[in-house]
Chain A
Amino acid sequence: MNNNDKLDDLDHEYSRSEWTTDEDISDCIISIGVSDLIDVTFFENYESGQSKGFCIITLQSEHSVKLILNKLPNKKLYGKSPIVTYVTFEAYLFFQTKSNTQPMPSLLINQNIPDISNRVMQESVSENPLLLMQEQSTSILMKDMQLNSSENSYNQGLPRSSDRYLLNRLNLSINAYKQGLHKKFQAMPLSRHDLLSFDVGNHSSNLAYTQDISIQGQQLPKYATSFSNTPSSVTCKHNEMEISPQKFNEIIRRNRIISSSAIARAITNSENGEFSDAMETLITAIKLIKESKIANHESSNIIVRSLQDVLHIIEIKKL
């Protein structure tokens, strides 16, 4: 260290958690006796590919989820204890803020329990409205939390502006949608539902948008009523499993909470001139909804379109 006083390799600008690899995390998880890890997905800066220091861990069983929630916070990853939580949008925003403002960008993890025999568990899990369930899963967020006060001089740049490519694509989809051409849009193939319910969808989309905007000041939006054109069952994208109407409504409700929190947050950000943050929040929300169990259903498309509309507005504001 002392020999390298002159060597400024910029590493000190980043926390150790940004260098933490997927293998570091899977090794750590295996070391506490969990053997059914499915996936580790990092949150990354879109333009540079750099890790934001937090990730989503996907696991097979609820047992493992509990084990990890209990034991992982006591493990050290490069000298720091990770924060582990269920995947919620709030947790995401919290970690995101940390990675933007703290000397120690964070480490984030999610965790999924794929399908089938897990119905009972899903029911119990879904009692928590803040839990983001991706596909058939329970989720955990994990983050490296130790703050290092000695690194006050840490000077992490502002997040880079969101990727032009992605914005292009979103704009394309918005334009295509506005022209009623969205069934031709390749990047977002639509299901049969969409073709049948296009007019309805178009109409409700505007409704949803206004609604979302108008509740931005409230704490938590309440969507008590079920979606008007909810079918009795939906074919699930990933495992061909039927979802009960009850379950379906619940996921819709969750998606709408994500959407409205994201829009409220994005509007606050853009009012403060933080357009990149605003766009990133919206893009992440779109991603979360597209990954939900009912991603192919019209209701998800409507929510995604509302988010894209806001994204589009913010993009124009930014220019």
Chain B
Amino acid sequence: MALSTSQPVQNNVQSSPGTGWPRRTAPVKSSTCPSLNRHINLYPLSNYKFGTKEPLFEKDPSVPARFQRMRDEFEKIGMRRSVEGVLIVHKHGLPHVLLLQLGTTFFKLPGGELNPAEDEVEGLKRLLTETLGRQDGVQPEWTVEDTIGNWWRPNFEPPTYPYIPPHITKPKEHKRLFLVQLPDKALFAVPKNYKLVAAPLFELFDNSQGYGSIISSLPQALGRFNFIYM
């Protein structure tokens, strides 16, 4: 298939008058199939306002406590289901991902654990509102657009992978990432113990040391979207 389409192009190049420059390809007619051409509107960072609210503490006081609770809950309710939202704005003509910063070196996407049997989209909206929702009772408008990725934790340990290793029949956590379309303007209330940062994609790209394997792979995962800078 790839061969048959590239052949005529080559012929065209050969038959064109020799300007020395390759011919510009004709404008590509984009497919109308929505899954092949995903448009996502991005609004400038300056459209959004950020306030603060009461601190929102993690459920577990330490890393060992986190895995111990995961272990305990696995016995009772099985694999943990987590959802996280990827919220994107633009600045200087580049998408920026909103990340919550805890301390100086730890970054995470807004989201969290689903309740047993909770719908993942509803759960994500609940968690986003808990984390970033404003205080004045106005309900934030979250539009969950698309799945960006799935990550699994094979053991009660830090590593997660975008697949289930084949020797694992019972993964301990399934984390799903969603692209969330932001409204054109919004007010977010950020818990006092966090900072909200807008990280440019080039900062995240190939930087698992700084952001972990999930966040640092977002530039690749987001590459399939056609971002419209509003």
Contacts and interface: CB of A to CB of B under 8 A. Distances in A.
Contacts of A49: 154, 159, 161, 163, 165, 168
Interface residues of B, number: 19
A21 B62 contact: no
Contacts of A168: 209
A305 B144 CA distance: 46
Nearest to A237: B64
Interface string A165-204: 1101000000000000000001101000000000000000
A198 to B, nearest CB: 19
Contacts of B165: 44, 48-51
A22 B208 contact: no
B213 to A, nearest CB: 8
A98 to B, nearest CB: 17
Interface in B155-188: 155, 158-159, 161, 163, 165-170
Contacts of B155: 41, 44
A186 B158 CA distance: 15
Interface in A46-83: 46, 48-51
Contact of B63 (A20, A46, A186): A186
A23 interface: yes
A182 B217 CA distance: 32
Interface in B53-71: 62-64
B84 to A, nearest CB: 18
Interface string A29-53: 0000000000001101010111100
Nearest to B209: A164
B212 interface: yes
A186 B62 contact: yes
A21 B167 contact: yes
B62 to A, nearest CB: 5
B63 A18 contact: no
A76 B40 CA distance: 54
Nearest to B166: A19
A20 B166 CA distance: 8
Nearest to A42: B167
Contacts of B161: 48-49
A163 interface: yes
A165 B154 CA distance: 17
Nearest to A48: B161
A22 B170 contact: yes
Given A22-B167, A51-B167, A44 B154 contact: yes
Given A187-B63, A189-B64, A51 B166 contact: yes
B154 to A, nearest CB: 6
A187 B213 CA distance: 19
B189 to A, nearest CB: 26
Interface centre among A20, A49, A50, A51 (most CB of B within 10 A): A49
A183 B209 CA distance: 24
A186 B159 CA distance: 18
B209 A165 contact: yes
Interface centre among A44, A46, A48, A189 (most CB of B within 10 A): A44
A199 B170 CA distance: 44
Nearest to A287: B157
A168 B170 CA distance: 28
Contacts of B166: 18-19, 21, 51
Given A44-B154, A48-B161, A186-B62, A165 B212 contact: yes
A44 B167 CA distance: 10
Contacts of A22: 167-170
Contacts of A163: 159
Given A186-B63, A189-B64, A165 B168 contact: no
Contacts of A164: 208-209
Contact of B158 (A20, A21, A165, A189): A165
Contact of B168 (A18, A21, A46): A21
Interface in B71-90: none
B114 to A, nearest CB: 23
Interface in B196-230: 208-209, 212-213
Interface in A184-227: 186-187, 189
Interface centre among B63, B155, B165 (most CB of A within 10 A): B165
A211 B103 CA distance: 38
Contacts of B64: 187, 189
Nearest to A41: B155
A19 B212 CA distance: 27
Contacts of A18: 166-167
Interface string A116-128: 0000000000000
Interface string B129-170: 000000000000000000000000011001101010111111
A49 B157 CA distance: 11
7 contacts: A18-B167, A22-B169, A41-B155, A49-B163, A51-B167, A165-B208, A165-B212
10 closest Cβ pairs, A-B complex: A51-B167, A49-B165, A49-B161, A23-B169, A164-B209, A187-B63, A21-B167, A21-B169, A19-B166, A22-B169
